A and B are shown apart, each in its own frame.
Chain A
Amino acid sequence: MQQNVVEVENLKHTYDNKKYVLEGISFEVKKGEVFGLLGRNGAGKTTTIKILTTLILPTSGKVNILGYDVRKDGLKIRSRIGLVQQLPSIEFTTVEKNLDIYGMLWGLNKKTRKEKIEELLEIFDLKNLRKKDAIDLSGGERRRLQIAREFMHDMDILFLDEPTVGLDVIMRRNLLNYIKKMVNKGLTIVFTTHMLEEAEYLCDRIAVIDKGKIVAIDTLDNLKIKYGGKRAVEFKIKNINLNDIKEKLNINHDNIKIVNDRLIILTENPYDTVEMVIDKIKQSNGKIEWLNIRDKTLEDVFLNVIGEENGIS
């Protein structure tokens, strides 16, 4: 049994004592795991990260990081974690000095700092920018610097709040690969994103969070089987009532839905289904305006679970 380094139980949070932005979420993260918090804007990802990194106190619930209680042992927790916040943050000095100050704040000696700086400038492709003032960097370059400096120090858990926003494709891949490398060395990652392919590439387990609730949590494969195992075939049809065609098709109620003006069918054999449905539509003198087969991705999971929550299905 691997040890849990993050334990969250029935965590609730409100900023104004009226509206709960976290409505009792629970999850745990094991040592060496990459755990993704996936959710739309305002879902509560950053709030969760802020509580886990002891920046704000939870309203109620239990939160243990590395065995320490966030309410009592903030300092002990903070000395063993790293955090890349969603909000940009830089120091008003050169790229190199930014890294150096960061290492100094973490209490590293000069020699270690020097070595680390060289290594990170290389990895994050900042070598040519080392003497440049951080304020003059582009948005993506600043983000790179902000992420790079977090690797100046050793840590047990790294929290990344939408780290790749603003990074180009190549840099994003570099970063994700570097993170993977660090994970192989034993680092645990808690990671938020609304980019599904990122979560897909990186995460061992994913929690989908919506309006302050966890609506799905599992490994990527399990989530796909559970929510995305069937592909969705969508039709827009003219000239006939969608309900009529729904009656005529011999498909289990759970797998056929009408959303707005579209007919959606969940199926394991999308191509057979398409043929069958086209036949039925032709028999009824209907006309297909538009048709789509969605691939099996995390997006399916996401739309599926978030959709259910929002009553789209």
Chain B
Amino acid sequence: MAYPKVVRLILRNLIVNSDPGTWLILVGMPTMFLVFFSYGYGSMLSSLGLSYVNYAKFLAPGMLAYETLIAGTASGSMLWFDRRWGSLAQILAMPFTRTDYLLGLILSSVVFAIMGNAILLVISYLLIPGLDFTTIGVIIMILTLIIGSLLFGSLMLILASYIKSQNAYNSIQILIIFFINFASTVFYPAISLPRPLLYLFYVNPLTYIANVMRDGFLNKVKIIDLYEMIFLASLSLLLIYIARKSYMRSEIKFE
């Protein structure tokens, strides 16, 4: 029995895109952040009588959230890659619908997020003493990473549909990663921020993803996390819908 079509597309995406470079970005970067920032800021905190562990515990779930953003951007990069190397036109001439292809991309991002997060979780566990995960916490983390990568995956596909050169896309992608990342609670809590910055943080979906991820990671799941997840999931569905629309409209121009 052959795999369902979308599964075949995901398998293909994983095989073709699993080069060392991808994994360096997916796992190497957040690991470096985790190590350098934990110890770096830790030493600053120790002058205040706090240990690095306090910040590492804050940062590790932030990195899991960051990972969903990076995995999400993989879908846009994969689309560009397929355009650039003729695979897109070739796949669309096979018995796949355009929606199959798009879903394949977004779900590949989800798989990347799951694998990347699993590795990061192990690294965090080894690095940070005194972690104790609960079932409900882990479930929340898994759901959040799925929702997060769906969300950013479709967001990047919308961008990739409208931007007409790969170079422009790459630059914008880097800019967006930085912006979304730093204007969120990934690295620092959103307390005592100046007003405009505070608003910025709270229109940024990564803030919510980081918050929920953190509550799951530290076993502090609250009812508000559930609402945030429902909100994020709805936003993802909306973005997937828009991604499909914009992609359908744009793709013929790219042939």
Contacts and interface: CB of A to CB of B under 8 A. Distances in A.
Interface stretch (B37-45, B83-91, B126-134, B146-154): B83-91
Given A75-B95, A89-B85, A107-B8, A97 B255 contact: no
A149 to B, nearest CB: 9
Nearest to A106: B94
Contacts of B91: 105
Interface in B167-187: none
Given A50-B255, A97-B15, A107-B8, A89 B87 contact: yes
Interface stretch (A77-85, A172-180, A222-230, A280-288): A77-85
Given A55-B255, A92-B85, A107-B2, A85 B93 contact: yes
Interface in A19-61: 50, 53-57
B12 interface: yes
B223 interface: no
Nearest to B252: A56
A127 to B, nearest CB: 22
Contacts of B105: none
Contact of A90 (B11, B85, B93): B85
A163 to B, nearest CB: 14
Contacts, number: 71
A104 B252 CA distance: 26
B23 to A, nearest CB: 15
Contacts of B12: 91, 101, 104-105
B137 to A, nearest CB: 37
Given A55-B92, A91-B87, A105 B15 contact: no
**Max chain A CB contacts within 10 Å: which of B1, B93, B96, B255?**
B93
A79 to B, nearest CB: 4
B122 interface: no
Contacts of A109: 1-2
What is the interface of chain B mostly: helix, strand, loop, or mixed? helix
A88 interface: yes
A104 B5 CA distance: 10
A93 interface: yes
Instruction: Indicate the size class of the contact surface on chain B.
Output: 20 to 34
Contacts of B3: 104, 107
Instruction: Indicate the size class of the contact surface on chain A.
Output: 20 to 34
A30 B25 CA distance: 53
Contacts of A88: 85-86
A105 B8 contact: yes
Contacts of B255: 50, 55-56
Given A92-B19, A104-B8, A104-B12, A75 B89 contact: no
Contact of B89 (A87, A90, A93, A105): A87
B27 to A, nearest CB: 20
Given A78-B93, A105-B8, 20 more contacts: A55-B92, A55-B93, A55-B255, A74-B97, A75-B95, A81-B93, A85-B86, A87-B86, A89-B85, A89-B86, A89-B89, A90-B87, A92-B17, A101-B16, A104-B11, A104-B12, A105-B9, A106-B94, A107-B8, A109-B2
Interface of A: 50, 53-57, 74-75, 78-79, 81, 83, 85, 87-93, 97, 101, 104-109
29 contacts: A53-B93, A55-B89, A55-B92, A55-B255, A56-B252, A78-B94, A78-B95, A78-B96, A81-B93, A83-B93, A85-B90, A85-B93, A87-B86, A88-B85, A91-B12, A91-B85, A91-B87, A92-B19, A92-B85, A97-B15, A101-B12, A101-B15, A101-B16, A104-B3, A104-B8, A105-B9, A107-B2, A108-B2, A109-B1
